[in-house]
Structure 1
Amino acid sequence: MPYVFRQGDLPKLDIQIDRGSDFAAWQAQWESYMSLSGLSEESADKKVQALNLCFSRETLSIVQNLGLSDTEKADVAAIISAIKKYIDGHINESVERRNFRRRSQQPGETFDDFVLALRELVKTCNFCSNDCTRKNIRDQIIEGILDGDTVEDLLQEKDLTLDRAMQVCQAQEAAKRQRASMSSGYHDSVAALKNPPPSRRKPLSQATSSHPPTCSGCGNKPHFGGRSRCPAFGLSCNICGKLGHFAKVCCSKLPQPDTTPTPVGTNALSLLSTIRHVTATDPAPKITLNISSLNGTTAATILPDSGADISAAGEEILAHLNEHIDNLLPSTTVPKAANGTEMHPVGKLPICLKLGNTEFSDDLHIYPDVCGILISWKACKNLGILPDCYPYPPAVTKAICTTTLDESPINIISTDAGTSMLTKDSIINEFPRVFDGIIRAMDGEQFHIHLTSGAKPFCVTSPRSIPFAYRDKLAAEL
């Protein structure tokens, strides 16, 4: 049948969330969509275009930076295979199992929702077999449920299975819900005899409220299956450092920044001041160092820019640091590119740069149109990439411009590239032992002079340099 494009039918994919079995489920949906819509009969180019529309913006940005060849970019199967390898490489089994072990039933959460959350978390734990997975879910139910009486009943069961544990928990929860309902009905009947029925008219604030519910962790729509589905689950907030929510919804807000955009640099000395000629035979030098945030660490090849006032990177760095765009801090820094256009950031991320044993804390400003990572002159200087005397060139020795030793000043260039003035008196005061006229023994080992028998004396006729301090005494002796 002919293919009819309807974007609403496309299965959506966000690889920040859809990992493990969720990605396998999306892949099955994509295969079904291709078959039912007739897309499988279309050209490879049309298939790739439809696939791109399935991706979220963050996912598409990551896919474009996976290093695929032109041939692979034109093949849907190659793109999906590369995404799977990327997802598998970013699943840390130890972290996933730790998150699973830390999951407990939340106040007000039903048992069925709790088990559903555990099943979601266990998908990326890579337990050895299905039987091992079921036993781990059973153990986490015993460890994580809130009701102590139910835990006691479970521990009394011999050869407890997952199915039996779920039956006991569901029965206990249903019984308590029924008792609570009966008790509530009795009290409501008594209260109705004592008090008049309340007005059915809703308060104005409730009647006019049109704000949809949002997730308290990420600020987006609520997630089916509990908090484990939230992208903020297990991540630290970049404002308060606590787990489970993004900076976007943090209650410990930073002081409100001035909303006036702050220009950075002047003319070409700005974010993208480094000029790289497209035909240059020698590419701009780069260096590899470690970058750490609250939620991850990665090794990255960066461009040190001695003319950049801030450190900047594209959005792709967030995935490597296990960060999310909603966890960025606000930034009002608006640098100018080399052509004078303003660049508006999506936020900034506190990071720690480490080169060898040297560390430097900095803010990494995230821009949607920046490729790679660029660090500022201040970071380069603190990491030792640039010398301490930057922007002045380091001087190896003190270069004396004049040699007269009268009372007029002597201009010298010191090692910090600054210029100072010296006089004869200041030199004598700085080196008094050189000018006090006392001949001292040299420090070192004691030695003996042995004369060779039959040696004939000879004289040296070339002049020898006489220290200034001894010239008057030598002239008097001669």
Structure 2
Amino acid sequence: MEFPSNKQEMDFHNGNVAENFRKWRQMIELTFSGPLSAKSNVEKCSYLLLYIGQDGRDIYNTWELSNDERKNPKVILDKFDAYCKPKRNLAMDRYKFFVRNKEDHETIDAYATELKLLAANCEFGDIKDSLIRDRIICGIRNDRVVQRMLQEPDMPLNQCIDVVRGDEFAQRQLTSLSKDERSPIDAVGMVPRYSTRAPLKHCYKCGTRHGRERRCPAQGKRCFSCGEWNHFAKVCYKYSQGEISSVETFSTTMDQVFVDIFFNRLRLSIRFKIDSGAQASIIPHSYFKTAMKDIQLERTNVTLVAYSGSVIRPVGKVNLTCKYKNKEITEVFYVVHSNSPPILGLRPSIELGLIKILMQINKNIPCQTPDYLCKEYSDVFEGIGCFSEPYHIILDNSVQPSVSPPRRIPFAIQEKVKDELDYLVKKKIIEPVCEYTDWVNAIAVVKKKNGSVRLCLDPRPLNRAIQR
């Protein structure tokens, strides 16, 4: 059985020569035990020198071997193995093992395989599996999985890998479910169920909403402001804000605001939806292909996140100069696959004068002094607030109970702490416990401005066990 020699040659010049030979030796040994199993050792040595290539044969010719050694393929392979392996540095090999952590994109199977390969050169002996298990526990970044593995002492390596593999599978399932449930939302409108009536539209003549089948109330009426017919004074476009020298298209509805922005480079106007909560301006890809097909898109690594939490990866970006009235700016627009209208973000909306941020509102309100607040909201400052019934906290039984040691209290405030505890017991806010309990939390003493003390509970150990 013949094999192409160019596919079997050993590479002595590129990469890790020792690793290259390990893989090549495994291939040639499988060949000797398989297709060439019927060949004699002399013939196997000939095949070995044929497959290893000219570089290997040159190295072989420099060795002084006896006739018996030249007829033994294992001896020749061991000689090449010694030639390819560098001088061992055991400390370096173990250092590489103990600093190898699991990457975020790496599966537990790939991580465990890499650790086993590194451990093969560390001479760990009988404790190799236990050290690989410990390295997995220290090398993963999931505290919940680590805590689960530490609960069982002397967990075997295979069981440790199964625990991490099961968590990875569950996380992939949850991620796929969350992606199916999330969808980008641009706007939400209300559509009456089982309604066959035409939608009501805003009438610019009377200022109300009505269908086409209804006659407009302003039909045949004269405007008191300009004297023209068929519209009311409240929607008069000439005298509602004085004489207008130029008109800019600016339309609003109950929930959305649109504006026409002029682009010098395109020589056209595009209607954008103003979104004060958007940090980026976007243009749908379908609109870009029709209105801006002559513009070259630039690549971008930016990832956008919609309000619903879904991730949007832009097709590209484009820098355009846009103009509204007498203001002109250059803005980066991201082109995305979306059915939403073009969106103008917060920053360009402010720079174009479409949005103004008011940091102060002037309003005559009474001086909110402590006396005024206590009087205005007296019900809040009377008595001690209590739940109508006891609240039961559900704990995770797998979490070990914690008894925190008492903290030292300075002698100067010990009497004040004792008085505060007696006061809280008297008001039935706390009650003394004179028997064994699984949970004990420490207290922290805070000194108030008036010289009294406030007792604070440190619930951090308990919070780890509360089921939410």
Q: TM-score range by the shorter chain?
A: 0.3 to 0.5
Which is higher, the Rg of structure 1 or of structure 2? 2
Normalised TM-score (structure 1): 0.33
Normalised TM-score (structure 2): 0.34
**Structure with the larger RCO, 1 or 2 (CA within 8 Å, 6+ apart):** 1
